[in-house]
Structure 1
Amino acid sequence: MSTPISVTRRDFLRASAAAGGVIATSSFFANNIIRGEDKTTRVRNSKIKSVILLFMEGGPSQMETFDLKPGKETGAPYKQIETEVPGFAPAEHFENLAKCAKDLLLIKSMSSREGNHSRASYLLRTGYIPNPTLKHPSLGSIVAQQMGDPNFELPNFVKLRGSPFPAGYLGVENNPFVISRPGAKIENLDYAKGVDKDRMDRRMKLVKEMEKDFAKEHGDEAVEAHKAMYEKARALMDSPLRKKFYLDDEPDEIRKEYGEGTFADSLLIARRLVETGVPAVECVLGGWDTHDDGFNRVKGLIGQLDKPWAALINDLKRRGLYDSTLVIWMGEFGRTPKLTGTDGRGHWPGNFCTVLGGGGVKAGQVIGETDELGYNKDSKGKSTLVDPVSPADLYKTLGTMMDWEMTKEFEAGNRPVWLTDKNANAVEKIYK
């Protein structure tokens, strides 16, 4: 029989921290924790098993990537590559990706009203505009919660570079496992100096003892969420699957196919993770906020993007994984068709591009169209955008493709919430 002990928040945090630095105990005290979740196993009606999100932070210019207007006053001094897919004519620097045109679907008519980086990034990552009283989960957290195995040794959502984006009302167990330096040694993943497996077992036992009293003051649900988190962390520390985060055992020819650089390493690690069973991976490439010198800067960014993106597609296809892996390329908004005096462009949420490929996607087509100069409205303010797609519509589409529980009410802060906007519409031509 255990001896009763009085546990303070500080005591509990100290004991938890002793169980291993990989456990992010501070996030345990987030306000929004999923409540009343049905733990019954549900069979999804979807062949999609994994999602890889390529997120371009800063707002990639559609005018220099996938919606060029060559010869026009708004156009870039780039040539475009005509492909076998009508309307899919990327910038000349996408020499590798252009060969994959039949494996991709291009949306030229993404549109929102959010031109602020923070708000737009939130919208494109969640499908909802920011709400000061509610934290929505990102795409990766939704996929982790809906499609992940809670007993899997690796995290169900891995983010390669970028800042953490909490899972909100879906709970800390669906937060991303963030790797700031893909391919490098991950800090706090090994036992601390002087700590072996037996000593760690004793520390974990101590934490469990302290939980009993802590739960009386702070609630069983919060403790259960924390328990799931540190048990997951411990499993990761002991798992041989940790090697999937590193590239030492990748053949030289595969490394060469993806190319050099951090983003190339991120995409190769993403392939390794989904091949192992991780359902959600986000790879971040920043630097797209091109207010000046845009032509040169975007050319350089495409140089980091083109080869590994095409390699990822071809690698997944060779391994029989492309049909079960949804690959998404997007940023928070686009850039103004009108150029600045320094060859840059401002923020432009009115129309921008998103590219989809892989599982469930009806590839080899282009959805949407802008006018001849790249605008979404005429001089009188009337929309000229063909087949506009909102971020909420995109998320409704993704949820339909992956068979998320979109009609299920979750609860956050004593209010009902849904994974996708109930007023949004799925874009059927993306998957039918």
Structure 2
Amino acid sequence: MLNFFGSTTNSFCDGVSRRNFLKVGTFGAGLTLADAYRAQAAAKKTEGTRSKAMKSAIFIYLPGGPSHLDMYDLKPDAPKEIRGEFNPIATNVPGVQICEHFPLQAKMWDKLAVVRSLTSVDEHSDTLVMTGYPDRVNATAGHPSFGAVVSKLRGDGPESVPPFVSLRGMSRGTEPGYLGLSHRPFTPSGPGNANLKLAGGVTPERLDTRKTLLDSFDDTRREIDASGAMKGIDAYTERALDMVSSGVVRNALNLEKEDKATRDRYKGVEQFLTARRLIEAGVGFVTLSIGGWDTHGQNFQSLKKQLPKVDQAIANLIQDLHDRGLQDDVVTVMWGEFGRTPKINASAGRDHWSPAMSALVAGGGLKMGQAVGATNAKGERPKDWAYTVPQLMSTLYRAIGIDPAMTFPNGSGRPMYILDDRDPVRELV
């Protein structure tokens, strides 16, 4: 059984389980890897290929809503019940300070930037930061995720490499919406890795024989399909088999291919190394997550454990991209769904706070070494110019060569913009 769409479950304070779903049998019943690639191939016959200037993106999601006041927007002069337990430290960019638990990022801030004046919505979901639309809208509108858009437009990528990979499983936010099932992410979690290699005793010649047999089964299945589900999906098992036989993805997922010193640097945050390797292998979009950030209680106790891991992960990933000359070809963002309340509650925690949040950005040819925007003295809301999540997402789309004003037809055939709120974060461009 190939865990194609993930199996991770995230539970937040509202008690709702963000269960990832749809396990499918490799080349078996239901939607298989081959089916997904058939759909993608059929769709791309009418799409055209992506721009040669199109770059790659990494989205790091912090599930639960990280505290902006304890990471990148500290308020040392605020009352104790607001400023909390952490102190700011200087970065290598004059005038920019971040949390004391981020010493590695502080030393390389010229390669990073933070947007401190973002506003959000009070929803425990990754939908807003993955699609640019809140969950309450997207549940019916079906706008595609950032990765799905990359998948649709990345027409000239290597056939043996999936354009969209989620290392954190499947969620509503990663859905392709009206772009169609073929643009869902590949999720190599659980037992899926075992399916990226030839089974014992299966030679390339036997694989070719199985492919021919599969083609005949697929033809028959289309003939007897009364639902129309196969309509418009051309036979395209080749790419699925390519993934198995070429070993490109399997090699990218095999961290043993890295030297021990590199593996040691990423110890405990191995997903970030996997993300870097997938991007190097030709994947256009990777999303991953780290930690749990719904800190209604014991906020500082939790963050003392989590922030050093985030610091380790970001510093290694971004430095590696620079060392490989990829700093302009890959844009990275790290954010959650909202910030946390300025005032610390009776449980030493911070609650949901959508009027203000921060996002870390790196690469993509954007302007680094800065802190964009500011919140007021208590971190309650943007002080001057407020930016929305879609506006930052619009900036990220532009950074990888996608026009956010591009349209795609929805299920009713109506042309829909990728984003409705498309003004960029002007300080980054």
Q: TM-score range by the shorter chain?
A: 0.7 to 0.9
From 245, 251, 254, the counterpart of 1:243? 251
Alignment correspondent of 2:107: 99
From 150, 169, 187, the counterpart of 2:178? 169
Q: Is the 8 A contact 1:147 1:279 kept in 2?
A: yes
In the alignment, does 2:285 pair up with 1:280? yes
In the alignment, does 2:188 pair up with 1:179? yes
In the alignment, does 2:69 pair up with 1:63? yes
- Counterpart CA distance in 2 for 1:252 and 1:375 is 45
Alignment correspondent of 2:124: 117
Following superposition, the deviation at residue 83 of structure 1 comes to 1.7
- Counterpart CA distance in 1 for 2:336 and 2:100 is 20
Q: Is the 8 A contact 1:59 1:288 kept in 2?
A: yes
Alignment correspondent of 1:356: 361
Alignment correspondent of 1:307: 312
Distance 1:162 1:385, change over 3 A: farther
From 317, 323, 326, the counterpart of 1:321? 326
Q: Is the 8 A contact 2:64 2:336 kept in 1?
A: yes
- Counterpart CA distance in 2 for 1:201 and 1:34 is 22
- The letter of the residue matching 1:355 is L
Q: Is the 8 A contact 1:33 1:169 kept in 2?
A: no
Q: State the secondary structure of the residue aligned to 1:322.
A: coil
Distance 1:18 1:27, change over 3 A: closer
Alignment correspondent of 1:13: none
Alignment correspondent of 2:5: none
Alignment correspondent of 1:127: 132
- The letter of the residue matching 1:146 is L
- The letter of the residue matching 1:253 is A
Q: Is the 8 A contact 1:35 1:411 kept in 2?
A: no
Q: State the secondary structure of the residue aligned to 2:360.
A: strand
- Counterpart CA distance in 2 for 1:138 and 1:393 is 15
Q: Is the 8 A contact 2:57 2:284 kept in 1?
A: yes
TM-score when normalising by structure 2: 0.83
- Counterpart CA distance in 2 for 1:117 and 1:341 is 22
In the alignment, does 2:48 pair up with 1:50? no
Length, aligned pairs only: 397
**Structural mapping, 1:319-398, within 5 Å:** 319-376=324-381, 385-398=383-396
Following superposition, the deviation at residue 161 of structure 1 comes to 2.3
Gaps of 5+ in 2: 1-23
- Counterpart CA distance in 2 for 1:191 and 1:388 is 52
Give CA-to-partner distance per residue, 1:260-311, whole Å, 9 cap, x none. Answer: 11xx211111111212221111121131111100001012111221112101
Distance 1:40 1:18, change over 3 A: closer
Q: Is the 8 A contact 2:40 2:183 kept in 1?
A: no
- Counterpart CA distance in 1 for 2:99 and 2:403 is 38
Q: Is the 8 A contact 1:102 1:363 kept in 2?
A: yes
Q: Is the 8 A contact 2:49 2:153 kept in 1?
A: no
Following superposition, the deviation at residue 133 of structure 1 comes to 2.7
Distance 1:329 1:225, change over 3 A: farther
Q: Is the 8 A contact 1:62 1:334 kept in 2?
A: yes
Alignment correspondent of 1:4: none
In the alignment, does 2:213 pair up with 1:206? yes
Q: Is the 8 A contact 2:58 2:331 kept in 1?
A: yes
- Counterpart CA distance in 2 for 1:72 and 1:18 is 56
Alignment correspondent of 1:291: 296
Q: Is the 8 A contact 2:252 2:277 kept in 1?
A: yes
Following superposition, the deviation at residue 410 of structure 1 comes to 1.4
- The letter of the residue matching 1:278 is V
From 131, 147, 153, the counterpart of 1:146? 153
Distance 1:221 1:359, change over 3 A: farther
- Counterpart CA distance in 2 for 1:166 and 1:275 is 24
- The letter of the residue matching 1:67 is D
Alignment correspondent of 2:241: 234
- Point out the more displaced range, 84-93 or 353-362: 84-93
- Counterpart CA distance in 1 for 2:322 and 2:40 is 39
Give CA-to-partner distance per residue, 1:28-62, whole Å, 9 cap, x none. Answer: 6xx99996973333535x4x621111111111110
Alignment correspondent of 2:418: 420
From 98, 102, 120, the counterpart of 1:90? 98
- Counterpart CA distance in 2 for 1:419 and 1:146 is 14
Q: Is the 8 A contact 2:84 2:344 kept in 1?
A: no
Gaps of 5+ in 1: 1-15, 377-383
- The letter of the residue matching 1:105 is A
Q: State the secondary structure of the residue aligned to 1:53.
A: strand
Q: Is the 8 A contact 1:35 1:412 kept in 2?
A: no
Alignment correspondent of 2:407: 409
Alignment correspondent of 1:72: 78
Distance 1:300 1:27, change over 3 A: farther
Pairwise CA RMSD: 3.1
Q: State the secondary structure of the residue aligned to 1:429.
A: coil
Following superposition, the deviation at residue 416 of structure 1 comes to 2.2
Q: State the secondary structure of the residue aligned to 1:110.
A: strand
